[in-house]
Structures are given as C-alpha cells and as structure tokens.
Structure 1
Amino acid sequence: MSKTLLIRILLLIVGIIITIDCAVLMIIGKINFGSVVPFIIGVIFVIHGIYWERIRRFIRHHPLFKRVWYGLWGLFILWLISFMVFVWSLQQQIERSQQPAPTVAAIIVLGSGTVAGKPTPTLAKRLDTAAPLIDAQPNAIVITSGGVGFQRSRSEADIMASYLHETHRIPFERILQEGKSTSTEENLANSQALLAAQGVSITDPIAIVTSDFHTIRAARIARHQGYTHSITIASPTPLSIRYNAWFREYFAFVSGWLFGEY
C-alpha cells in the first residue's frame, strides 16, 4: 500500500467518523463550538481523502495556494500538539480529582443543562457523584448552582435539588439553591453569598463537583475568585459525548484565559 493511499484512507475514515458524530450531536440540538468546528474539520478531511490527487495537482500549478495549503496544515499540526498537551493535563487533573475527598465545609455542584425538567445525562452524573459525598459529610453545606435556561420555567438549581431528593433521598433542607448563574464563573461567584450567609468562608475547604472534562477550568476559576482550598470532584462524562466534550472544553479553556476568567 502506497503512502498516498494510506493517507487518503486515514483521512477518509477519520473524517467520516468525526462528521457523523458531530452531525448526530447537532441533530439532537447540541449546536455549539465543539460540534460545529470538528464537523467542518471532518468534512475537510473527507474532501481531502476523496480528492487528494486533484488537490495536489491544483496546488502544484498555483504556488500561492500551495503556500496557503502547507501553512494551514502546519497550523493544524501545531493545534493538534497543543490539544494533545491539554488532554494529557486534563487526564492528570481527573486522576487527582478522583481521590477520596477530605472533610469539607461545603459542597457545590455545578450545573450542566436540563431537558424537560430533568437533568441531562452529564448533569445526572455530577449529582450521582455528589450524593455519596453529601451523605458522608452531614455537616457540609450543599449548594446546587444553575440558573433558568432559555425557554425554561424552573432553575437548574431547583431541578438538581429535586433530583438529589428524589433519587438519593437527600433532604431538601440540606440543599441551598443558587438559581441565577449562566456560567461556571457565575456559579462560583454567586455561591459566595450563600456560603457567607452560612458562615463558610471561601478560604475554607470546599468541594466543587463537576464533570471530569471540566475540572481544570473549574479549579482555575475557583482559584482566581479566591477559593484557596477548593477540591474538584470529577464525575464521569457519558461515553457518547465524552470526546466531543473534551474537544469543546479545549476551546472553552482558551476562551476563559483570553477573557480573564483565571
């Protein structure tokens, strides 16, 4: 098998997998940076896999396009290296976040979307991960954090509290609701008033429960806001969206850095 044919087959297989995966996500309503960008990349891979020879012949006769073509591939390789570094760092953070949690003064569960008045699978995993910790630490303050989404009537925090009560038998009296936030930054900022009202300082040990892919960004935002003893607790991401979530989180991490969230 020639090197050219191997490249074409690899591009075609990878492109088809990425395109189908992202198309399915967009069909079910998950239209965001982490689905649209890889979908475009997948389509480009498929086109290159099918028309590789035609593209090579075209750029050979057009020096300007040849430079642009090689430049774009060079940028893609650099981006791929940076993404691999991010994934490695994320895996290290996930391993640290899966260690047994010490005694904490509060447990904050970050929101992640609801559908028809129920937590999404990703959010349900966060709540399922938080429940044993809540049971094991009866003196810890519990906060569910998430606002009212677009075309929703209940806050995410309220739906999260109901899930903890109905699924894990955690009393409503133990759960404080922060129902105004629309981002991780707001989740943690708005929770500070609830903590202060209960006599808990953000310098006390505080557990932040979130999805595994989200642990790096959540930890950095918390540290930037003054949570000096925050402990991130990682919940598993459903396999069907795991790698797309990691991809999307890479761009969210870069965006957070650019906009000064940490």
Structure 2
Amino acid sequence: MLNTSPYKKPLVFLCFLVGVTLTIDSTILMTRHNFGFGVTFPFCVGIGLLSIAWRWQRLHAWLNQRKHRLLLWRLFWAGALIWLSTVAAFFYFIQAGHDIDIHTIRQPVRTILVLGGGTRDCLPRPTLAERLDLAFEWAQRLPDTKLVVSGGQDPGEQCTEAQVMANYLHQRGLPENRLLQEGMSTNTFENLAFSKQIMSEHGISTTDGLLIITSDFHSVRSRQIALKAGFNNLASAGAETPLSLRYNSWLREYFSFVRGWIVGDY
C-alpha cells in the first residue's frame, strides 16, 4: 500500500517544499504584473503540490480503493519525471550558450537591435539593465551602427520600454542620433517586425548585418523569430540573467519556446 511506504514522509516534505517555493516565487512575480504562462503554470503546480502534501493520507486512502487509480497515479508521476527531464535538457541547452558571432555573417553589422525586458517606475528591471549594458559595450565596439531599442508600454507604467532604454543608453554616453525607438511591440515577434519597419524608414535593409541583443535564455528563440520576420544576416549576443531571476526566466522561456514552436513563430 502506498500510504505505508517508508518514503511517505520524505515525499510529503518534498511536495511541500517544492510547492511553497513555486507558489511564493510565482506570487512575487504576479505582484509585479507578470501573468505569463511561465508564471501562472508554476503557481498552479505549487498549489497542487501543497494540496497533495496537505491531503496525503486522505488522497492515498482514496487511491488504494481501486487498482486503476494507483496505476494512473504512478503514470502521472512517470509523466512528470519525463517532463522534468525535458526542462533540465532545455536548461542545459541555454547554459551551454548559443550566440552567433558577428564575424560569421555575410554583411557588416549596421544595426544593433536591443529587445525589451521589463521596466518598473520608468526604470529598467535587472534583466533589461543587463541587456542594455551589453548593448552599450557593443555600441562602443561598433561605432558606425544605429541602435534600435524595442519595447512597448508595460502594465501600470507611464512610459514605454523603448523610452526607458533610450534614456539609459543616452545617460551612458551614446548620442541621441544613434538611437531609434520602437515603442509599440508587446512580444518578440512584434519587436522584430516593428523594428524592421523603422529600420527600413532609415534606409537599413533586412540583408544588412543585424546584431540582436537580448538575454542568454532568449537568444536562440529571438534569432529564429528574426529569420521568420525576414532578416537574413544575423548575429546575437545574450546578456547573463541575474541569478535571482535566472531559473524562473529560463522556465518561462521553456514554455515560450514550446508555444512558439506550436503556433509557428519560427
């Protein structure tokens, strides 16, 4: 019987510990107006695990009443372990790094495109600040490029991400005539599509070299979407995600990557 297993207490504690961690982490992110699937799904999983830990004895008494219930319960956890293995593989894939060096593309880089990553009180959040600092480094190395900063208005904010990004880079020392703002986008595909239009208005073609600046976890997907949007000569540089946000950001990207594959974003 499952409810007499010597592993009962460790399993209950594990469900409780993981449930609390996921619930608290997701709740903090939701208080920051982040309600994406990569936040709400872990929240639901956390609540589910807490419920299992709380009703462990009653749940297993119910399971033990029918053999098929025990079988479905075991199949459920087997499926969960398989899913977790795919998440671990995805994390390893991100950790390995998959940026594309600018020397591998056919045309010189004319544009640096910086993708938005969240603002608060009209200031960049830590993830976005890392992207902007990396963009500034590349702007110093490539002084003849234009920088397109791309991002719309976050919920509850009075300014667009593009405005915040341009102000940040200008305060670091970049002249305003190098900065082009795209302030309407709400997702990565719109980042690329709307930025392409602005670049075209300034005589920059999709065949010219483009360097995409984003976060480490977002580098591969953003390149694939850029190809779908019509860009041909791509390089990318991924900023390191702050440790306090890293694994939650990677988990959200896992779901975004799968969703993009399903709906045909790339």
The alignment's TM-score, normalised by the length of structure 2, stands at 0.87
Asked if the contact 2:101/2:235 (under 8 Å) is kept, the reply is: no
Amino acid at match of 1:5: K
1:64-97 residue CA offsets vs partner (Å, 9 max, x unmatched) = 54344333323322321221222222223xx232
Amino acid at match of 2:58: R
**Does residue 216 of structure 1 match 2:220?**
yes
Go from structure 1 to structure 2 and tell me whether the alpha carbon gap of 1:141 and 1:88 turns closer, same or farther (over 3 Å shift). same
- How many residue pairs get matched? 258
Runs of 4+ in 1 over 6 A off after TM superposition: none
**Does residue 161 of structure 1 match 2:169?**
no
**Does residue 148 of structure 1 match 2:153?**
yes
Q: 1:39 corresponds to which residue? A: 43
Amino acid at match of 1:96: H
**Cα distance in 1 for residues equivalent to 2:147 and 2:256:** 27
Asked if the contact 2:124/2:164 (under 8 Å) is kept, the reply is: yes
Query: How many Å apart are 1:243 and its aligned residue?
Result: 1.1
205-214 or 6-15: which moved more? 6-15
What SS class does the counterpart of residue 24 from structure 2 fall into? helix
**Does residue 96 of structure 1 match 2:98?**
yes
**Cα distance in 2 for residues equivalent to 1:172 and 1:220:** 30
Query: Alignment identity in percent?
Result: 36
Gaps in structure 1 of 5+ consecutive residues: none
Go from structure 1 to structure 2 and tell me whether the alpha carbon gap of 1:21 and 1:155 turns closer, same or farther (over 3 Å shift). closer
Q: 1:257 corresponds to which residue? A: 261
Task: Say which of 234, 238, 244 aligns to 1:240.
Answer: 244
Instruction: Output the aligned Cα RMSD.
Output: 2.3
The alignment's TM-score, normalised by the length of structure 1, stands at 0.88
Query: How many Å apart are 1:171 and its aligned residue?
Result: 0.8
**Cα distance in 1 for residues equivalent to 2:29 and 2:265:** 28
Query: How many Å apart are 1:104 and its aligned residue?
Result: 1.9
**Cα distance in 1 for residues equivalent to 2:62 and 2:229:** 53
1:168-188 residue CA offsets vs partner (Å, 9 max, x unmatched) = 111111101112211110111
**Cα distance in 1 for residues equivalent to 2:174 and 2:44:** 44
42-51 or 232-241: which moved more? 42-51
Query: How many Å apart are 1:152 and its aligned residue?
Result: 4.1
1:143-172 residue CA offsets vs partner (Å, 9 max, x unmatched) = 111123445443221221011111x11111
Gaps in structure 2 of 5+ consecutive residues: none
Go from structure 1 to structure 2 and tell me whether the alpha carbon gap of 1:199 and 1:158 turns closer, same or farther (over 3 Å shift). same
